[in-house]
Amino acid sequence: MAGAVEALIGTKEKTKKSSKAKAGVKKEESAQKKASAKTRTKTAEKATNPSQILVIVESPAKAKTIEKYLGSKYKVMASMGHLIDLPKSRLGVDVEHGFEPEYLTIRGRAEVLNSLVKEAKKSKAVYLASDPDREGEAIAYQIGKYISEKVPGLPISRISFNEITHEAVREAVASPHELDIAKVDAQKARRVLDRLVGYNLSPLLWKKVKNGLSAGRVQSVALKLICDREKEVESFIPEEYWTIESLLKFHHSNLKAELTLYKGDKVQIPDGKAAAAVVDSLVGKPAVVSDVRASEKVIRPKPPFTTSKLQQTAANRLGFTSKKTMQIAQRLYEGVNIGTRRMGLITYMRTDSVRISEGALAEARSWIGQFYPGQLPAEAQRYASGKNAQDAHEAIRPTSVSLTPDEVSRYLARDEQRLYALIWERFVASQMIPAVARVTTADITIGDGVFRTSATAFIEEGFYKVIRLAATKEERASHVLALEVGQNLPVEKINAVQHFTQGPSRYTDASIIKALEELGIGRPSTYAPTISTLLERYYVSRDSRQIVPTTLGRMITEILTEYFPDVLDTSFTARMETMLDEVEEGKTDWVERIGKFYFPFKKRVDEVMETLSSRKGELDEVTDVVCDKCGRPMVKKLGKFGFFLACTGFPECKNTKSIPLAKCPKCGGDIVARKGVRGKKREFYGCTNYPACDFMTYDKPTDTLCPKCGWFLVEKNDKVSGVHKACINPNCDYLHSKDNETDKDVGKETAKEAEN
């Protein structure tokens, strides 16, 4: 009984404890609910009374840089380019109702757009900070319009800056402004115009030539320029001529002089026989200095870079493609880490203006005055932009002159450092005094001939004080010619040199951009994409730095030139660019202008679609190559990346091969084009029997054999002989150029890496 009572008491005690515990749990749960409700209330209050400002830029790198400048009250997000655009699957332009474009959320970008809206709901205002050009204004407009529809009443403003520095960003945030609707209309007009041309001509090419082709308002004109230049190159017939040079002893070195007058007349020597006769008449005669004259030449610094000039200079001095130049410039503009801080190193890189802000001029002059006071001009140098320049932005310049190339070199990759050095040198040099050079010319009489030599020496180095990378060796060379009239010079040698007249050069990135700019075709933002599109479509290919039209590119140009000469007329394209500029300036109605062009153009497209005979399959060539899988003959076809061999048994047999370009001189295998991997994507030519045979070369093989040794000839291009064919055999002297001797030393490791 006692045990039962004890058990009962124990049970009651447990019950009491359990009740207390439950009460404690309920009390704790109640407290948690109150705390949760309090948190929800605070969150709701925060949502309804936001304190942050949302800033929307285009790229994550730009967002990362700006975020460091603005602090915790600002949320910076990136749209990563366009989020809303025309549909890809159809025309997307209502031609019957004022060419109104149909805008849709780009596939795959809805999540980004929704995240911007979600963040906008938490914000008291939105600042649209996309790039300060037409495309950037259009991106800002579309995003702003979408957010305003989802979050009515939310203040949305535009901010813009030409450089991403702390001062520029803070100043922009302090003075938000309205969107530039005229600039938005100009981008809309360009987009509509390009869509009307491309989406009408491209289907014509798909039906009549080959699927997957494209035509465009700017790209087709650029392609025509390249094809026309190739015709000039092919039709050019080189003419032989000879020059006579003398090598004279001058102090402890040799002096070279060229024959300019012979028997009182200008020298014209057509062949080797005539050259030998002239040399024979001069050999053994004394050399006497007959005249020495000097003149001064003023060399003025060039203006700061525009987009096109930067692309041209980077191509010529650094070997960069236009695409590579713009990619690196974009990184330098958006911001890099400089020690513990992050900042943009250059101003906006899409510009056609050479204008410089007063603040930047003052900073440059202060820096020059400190380090090169003797080269500081009395006043700041100001340059005039071209007549077609929009002048919306400054020239490309460093955001801070004090950040010299040497200062930032340890923070940048090699190519970034070199491009930054070009920009920095060009800008600082533009604010320094001109260089002054003394050009000394001497005439040296030998028998009946007058030989001439000259030398340039700097009296005042001027802006060349800061030029390292941007100037050629010839520009920087300084030589003194200390000759006196009546002075005798020992003759070491007189020899004749054969030459051939050089025809027009093929376009390079630099020269095609220069041509497009001079003709008023395209704008700073379109040069690099135009070249990239032509390469991607295989309308052109690269041969070293030269741009060469492919068979497909020529066919497209031939068709478009014959049936749409107006569209491919350079003056038409330039007029359209001027029209877009006038739209941005509010001077013209783009709907009316496009209407005058479109309806006759569409009628012509429909006519050609009905009357033009199909040219599909014209590029295919029957070969004597037999498929090693099924024994059927193979045909040469054009694919996305060029020509290849395909089995005629397709689709039963899907065997394909690269086009053999030559026979391997080591093993008799086929030499085909290849591309390396692991970052080394330069095209080379190797044997199909690799790894058993490691033969390779970077020079493109031809189908011609060397008459001396039987190895194949390759295409070469050097300063001495220009474009020519030479034997690949390093031990053969048949037109062999010494500038690429290193090819024979390329080892197995490179070949293996490329193959893998």
- Its sign, for the CA torsion 501, 506, 509, 510, is positive
Three-state SS for 723?
strand
CA distances from 222 to 59, 605, 697 (A): 29, 21, 31
- Which of 320, 512, 546, 522 has the alpha carbon at shortest distance from 416? 320
Catalytically active residues, by annotation: 348
What is the Cα Rg of the chain in Å?
Answer: 35
- The size of the chain, in residues, is 756
* 241 backbone dihedrals φ, ψ, rounded to 5°: -150, 160
Give rounded-to-5 percent helix, strand, coil for the chain. Answer: 40, 25, 35
Report d(CA 226, CA 506) in Å as an integer.
8
Residue 50, classified by CB atoms within 10 Å of its CB into exposed (0-12), middle (13-18) or buried (19+), is: middle
Residues linked to residue 683 through DSSP beta bridges, in sequence order: 675
φ/ψ region of 264 (left if φ > 0, alpha if ψ in -120 to 50, else beta) reads left
Inter-axis angle of helices 358-371 and 414-430, to 10 degrees?
A: 90
Report yes or no: 494 and 283 within 8 Å, Cβ to Cβ.
yes
Report d(CA 525, CA 349) in Å as an integer.
9
Helices (H), 122-213: 134-150, 166-174, 181-208
Cβ count near 343 (within 10 Å) = 19
What is the C-alpha end-to-end distance of the chain, expressed in Å?
92
Report yes or no: 463 and 301 within 8 Å, Cβ to Cβ.
yes
Report d(CA 735, CA 729) in Å as an integer.
11
Residue 319, classified by CB atoms within 10 Å of its CB into exposed (0-12), middle (13-18) or buried (19+), is: exposed
The verdict on whether omega for the bond into residue 203 sits within 30 degrees of 0, i.e. cis, is: no
Cβ count near 208 (within 10 Å) = 16
Inter-axis angle of helices 134-150 and 110-121, to 10 degrees?
A: 60
3-state per-residue secondary structure call for 605-655: HHHHHHHCCCCCCCCCEEEEEECCCCCCEEEEEEECCEEEEEECCCCCCCC
Cβ count near 56 (within 10 Å) = 26
Report d(CA 82, CA 711) in Å as an integer.
54
Residues 6+ apart with CB under 8 A from 238: 500, 501, 502, 503
- Which of 496, 495, 488, 454 has the alpha carbon at shortest distance from 287? 488
Q: Cite the beta strand spans of 514-566 per DSSP E.
A: 540-543, 546-549
- Which of 651, 712, 709, 658 has the alpha carbon at shortest distance from 688? 658
Report d(CA 299, CA 342) in Å as an integer.
38
Cβ count near 395 (within 10 Å) = 27
Encoding tokens for residue 111?
A: 């999540």
